[in-house]
Chains A and B, each alone.
Chain A
């Protein structure tokens, strides 16, 4: 990658938010680069099936993200495979530094790094990650064929993943700390009707135990304080997400969970830096809202760069006036 090139827009993170923003900026003939550390598609790429994105009754996450990627590439947006480690700026430009030490120069930045899973933070979780502790049903489900497993959580993702894992496991204990689910009613009904899924209400996992791989969970009842063992061979954890914003340090305003604070037009505190998608503090974290954010961010960048150009032209005229 030519590091002396000055990009109009560098998009950090190639999930649905970043790709949508790039569609808008590239169509306005702004030179746009997406930096992605893994593969375009973000969390959509690992989603089993999407049923709430308009235009598709049902589509696999892999297929949906591939379509987005093809569309973006057809428009001529460039992709760079790399992990962004920090961003910075001076009066003239903004700089995006990658983990291999190289950096990119750009007039504007869109932050669309999304979010990763949140850990339970209990003893045994880290030790048994990949040894029975999992955060991805579509990756690891088939290893638990005819096995008894647990799912932890009560939101959309936990319910949806339970319904997916049900085809492999012989039995699923769905462990939820409250006495009612947060997830969509349609998922709740399917979960409660499913004979293989048994809900363990008002309970939290306090420890994950095992030998080579997981064989037991220690549970605690949040109402009575009573503790008990639940023998399982695997545990899937879906208790919400954590934004990928560590690399920003103090560059933008973050809320107490690390989400980037923006206004409704996706501006961060820093001029010329916008945020879109799951990385942003908002009320609904979905593909539809990620692409909505991306469209707005793309549009606002187009406006921002037009204004910047005007200002520069004014300044040049002004300099010319002074020189005459």
Chain B
């Protein structure tokens, strides 16, 4: 499964109450480095299917959540476990960096 788009309405159920860890990529149409990591996130979503969820949150559409999480730089990836943020990655980074942080979550 490719990374799924998360909306404010399903943030609570999909992310905060998720049984498995979730990583959320905050992104926007106008952000080039976000485009760089988008295919990487889709790959990771497939590789870790069933173990973690990979979501994408559009900061222009879900403005309130972006503000709530103090997002002022994208891409930002937040790593959630049991509803808590346990790790953060800022900027476009190689796949191996994201992957090793996911492995730390499991």
Contact = CB atoms under 8 A, between A and B. Distances in A.
B72 A132 contact: yes
Interface string A301-315: 000000000000000
Contacts of A144: 72
Interface string B68-104: 0011111110000000000010111011100000000
B92 to A, nearest CB: 5
A138 B73 contact: no
Nearest to B95: A81
B32 A45 contact: yes
B105 interface: no
B36 A45 contact: yes
Nearest to B73: A130
Contact of A39 (B36, B71, B91): B36
A131 to B, nearest CB: 6
B32 A143 contact: no
Contacts of A45: 32-33, 36
A99 interface: yes
B70 A142 contact: no
A139 interface: yes
B43 to A, nearest CB: 9
A248 to B, nearest CB: 17
Contacts of B30: 138, 142
Nearest to A45: B32
A172 to B, nearest CB: 16
Contacts of B94: 37-38, 82-83, 99
A38 B92 contact: yes
A38 to B, nearest CB: 4
Interface string A73-110: 00000000111000000000000000110000000000
A130 B90 contact: yes
Contacts of A61: 32
A131 B33 CA distance: 17
A52 interface: no
B37 interface: yes
Contact of B72 (A39, A82, A143): A143
B90 A213 contact: no
A132 B73 CA distance: 8
Given A138-B32, A212-B70, A130 B88 contact: yes
Contact of A134 (B28, B32, B70, B73): B73
The 3 closest A-B pairs by CB, nearest first: A130-B90, A39-B36, A130-B73
10 contacts: A45-B33, A45-B36, A46-B33, A81-B95, A83-B94, A99-B96, A130-B90, A131-B70, A135-B91, A140-B74
Given A81-B40, A129-B73, 18 more contacts: A38-B33, A38-B36, A45-B32, A82-B95, A99-B94, A100-B96, A129-B90, A130-B73, A134-B72, A135-B91, A136-B33, A138-B30, A138-B32, A139-B73, A142-B28, A142-B30, A143-B73, A213-B72
